[in-house]
């Protein structure tokens, strides 16, 4: 019973860490990476599709992405979707290939991205604390139903707290690394 609660909490906390890593990967650090365009959707025959489903996205060099649509008619739709996104990118079309030069980040933009990263990290910490709360509630419920003793409940809550502390430290490490990455260029 207790081990199931702890295992569930651990699994959910590790998923929160993975979600945080995914969110961090969307925040650009001045280097070209195809995941920068993950959230862009394009109208494809009346259906919203992700950019990666209608075109090939590649890294040309450290500051340039290239997009090669599967169909010639998609070039303008892709260009329009990129310009409408909040990424601040200006695509340049050359026939069937769309090039996206990434401008160097200004100091002001770096500072604003650090704020975004800190906000995402706080959301990760809150998610982990919510998982701790859920696990502790399950332990208290088991205690109330007389499935476990008070000593077992106290020991289980301590283990959940240690688990929470470990995952919060992981969030802090990810935050430090991303912050250093943003400010070091």
Go through the domains of the chain in sequence order and give each one's CATH number. 2-26+106-183 (1.10.132.20), 34-101 (3.30.1360.40)
182 touches 117 (CB < 8 A): yes
pLDDT of residue 108: 82
CA distance 14 to 79: 37
Q: What is the pLDDT of residues 89-111, one digit of tens each?
A: 788 888 888 888 887 777 887 88
Q: With helix as H, strand as E and coil as C, how does 37-77 read?
A: HCCCEEEECCEEEEHHHHEEEEEEECCEEEEEECCHHHHHH
Place of tokens 């030069």: 101
* Entry pTM: 0.69
In this structure, the dihedral spanned by the alpha carbons of residues 154, 160, 162 and 163, taken in order and rounded to 10 degrees, is 170
Q: What is the pLDDT of residues 54-83, one digit of tens each?
A: 888 888 887 888 888 888 888 888 888 888
Percent residues over pLDDT 70 in the chain: 96
Q: CB neighbours (10 Å) of residue 169? A: 10
């Amino acid at each position: 019973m207790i081990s199931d609660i702890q295992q569930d909490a651990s699994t959910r906390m590790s998923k929160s860490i993975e979600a945080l890593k995914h969110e961090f990967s969307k925040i650009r650090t001045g280097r070209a990476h195809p995941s920068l365009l993950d959230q862009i959707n394009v109208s494809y025959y009346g259906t919203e599709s992700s950019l990666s489903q209608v075109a090939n996205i590649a890294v040309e060099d450290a500051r340039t992405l290239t997009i090669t649509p599967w169909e010639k008619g998609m070039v303008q739709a892709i260009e329009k979707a990129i310009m409408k996104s909040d990424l601040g990118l200006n695509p340049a079309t050359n026939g069937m290939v769309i090039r996206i030069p990434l401008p160097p980040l200004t100091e002001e933009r770096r500072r604003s991205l650090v704020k975004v990263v800190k906000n995402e990290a706080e959301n990760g910490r809150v998610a982990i604390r919510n998982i701790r709360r859920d696990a502790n509630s399950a332990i208290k419920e088991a205690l109330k139903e007389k499935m476990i003793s008070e000593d077992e409940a106290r020991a289980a809550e301590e283990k959940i707290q240690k688990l929470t502390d470990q995952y919060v430290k992981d969030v802090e490490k990810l935050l430090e690394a991303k912050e250093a990455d943003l400010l070091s260029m």
